[in-house]
Amino acid sequence: MKKVIIIRYAEMYLKGKNRGFFEQVFSTNIERALKGIRHELHRYSGRYLVEGFDGADADEIVGRLKKVFGIHSMSIALETSNDLKSIFEAAKAVSRSSGTFKVESHRADKRYPLTSMEISREVGGMLLSQFPALTVDVHNPSFYVYVDIRENGTALVFGEFFPGADGMPVGTAGKGVLLISGGIDSPVAGHMLAKRGMSVECLHFHSYPYTNLQAKEKVIELAKILSGYTLGKTLYTVSVTHIQEAIHEKCAPELMVTLLRRFMFRIAEKFALRIKAQCLITGESLGQVASQTIEGMTSSNSVVEKLPVLRPLVGFDKNEIIERAVKIGTYDISIQPYEDCCTVFLPDYPAIRPALKDIVEEEQKLDIPALLDEAFASIEKIEL
Ligand code: ATP
Ligand code: MG
């Protein structure tokens, strides 16, 4: 009797012709998540099976796989030969000793001498005589024992379903550049699109030395947590210090944030095209702060020439975003105090609805191509 892990997948069956591609990406992602743990991954009748691991690693494997998008649920099962005596030994190990229960059986091997109903009845009967405090309840049992007769002479016996992350395998829906700050929102935005199968590359703007190295450490920490889901390995950072200094020196102070954000989007698009990404992703939510009005979004969108800007949080309330941040494990890091580059040289009264024409006019005072070149020269690649 040895432990195996059954992996059931989520939406992939919807994908008709692409199915082969989806499954290949999916199994690659599972392998990446399990790196460093001895195991084998096999397909079996519309599921995957992790085998050949040390029984003590089972919980760690399930824990890691909980972050892999495309997994609907998992079970830690006992694999035995398919004779009733062995199945019963496994069922005993899976069962509780009291309460109401139901045995559910499934036969992939239709030559098996007993029907599913008969298997359930036999195993249920054996459990009842083993544990006197058990009773059968087929409608509303407090726990189940599942028996799965495979085609290869073995049976899988298990009792629990662990929920997976659902969604689509990362790498099946293109690639995006996430503008990641040290705040609460952007990691959640990245997580949401990774859940739909997008590969997410993280790009962070800093104003070192105005923003400190702790701020950078914080973003690295966030990117690391996010990489558990996105399977990304790098964080890119860009300095916008020189851009803020130029704006501070030459432009109307109330436009600092607006102008800076336009530079961020320009840099992000250029960077995205360079690494063959297909969109920008931000954590903006409508009306949350002055720069996130529809006018603010229009202003930053208008410098992005080729790519769509995806804002998965646009219709979310802050508390909905926080709820997600807590769930994915980024919240505690995000709320640590930190200086974003957007808070450097902040005017007392930022313009809330600046007219695009005024913004463009103000920008004429800057050497945009030179500022962009300098930003690109500052790009740093950090391995997570
Ligand atoms: P967050 O919690 O994600 O920081 P926020 O509520 O603080 O968001 P803003 O600071 O206005 O809002 O930022 C809006 C979005 O712009 C962020 O979600 C992020 O995508 C992007 N952004 C802001 N600052 C940076 C930065 N320093 N580097 C990269 N992207 C940034
Ligand atoms: Mg922020």
pLDDT tens sequence across 161-182 = 999 999 999 999 999 999 999 9
Ligand 1, atom 22: closest residue by C-alpha: 181
300: number of CA atoms within 13 Å, CB side? 29
| pLDDT on residue 365 | 97
Ligand nearest to the CA of 268: 1
**Which residues of the chain are modeled with pLDDT < 70?**
12-15
Q: Does the Cβ of 200 fall within 6 Å of ligand 1?
A: no
**Cα distance between residue 15 and residue 32, in whole Å:** 23
Question: Angle between the 58-65 and 19-33 helix axes, to the nearest 10 degrees?
Answer: 130
DSSP letter at 196 equals T
Confidence (pTM): 0.92
What does the angle CA 133 – CA 136 – CA 142 come to, to the nearest 5 degrees? Answer: 80
Q: Which atom of ligand 1 is nearest to the CA of 257?
A: 11
pLDDT digits (tens, 9 = 90+) for 40-99: 999 987 899 999 999 999 999 999 999 999 999 999 999 999 999 999 999 999 999 999
Is 204 labelled as part of a ligand binding site?
yes
Residue 218, Cβ density class (10 Å: 0-12 exposed, 13-18 middle, ≥19 buried): buried
| pLDDT on residue 124 | 97
Tell me how far the alpha carbon of residue 199 lies from the centroid of ligand 2, in angstroms. Answer: 22
**Cα distance between residue 41 and residue 186, in whole Å:** 33
Tell me how far the alpha carbon of residue 367 lies from the centroid of ligand 1, in angstroms. Answer: 24
Q: Does the Cβ of 145 fall within 6 Å of ligand 1?
A: no
| pLDDT on residue 59 | 97
**Cα distance between residue 288 and residue 317, in whole Å:** 8
Ligand nearest to the CA of 342: 1
Phi, psi of 258 (to 5 degrees): -60, -45
Ligand 1, atom 18: closest residue by C-alpha: 283
Mutate to test the pocket of ligand 1, among 177, 180, 184, 186 (most ligand atoms within 8 A of CB): 186
- Are the CB atoms for 1 and 35 separated by under 8 Å? no
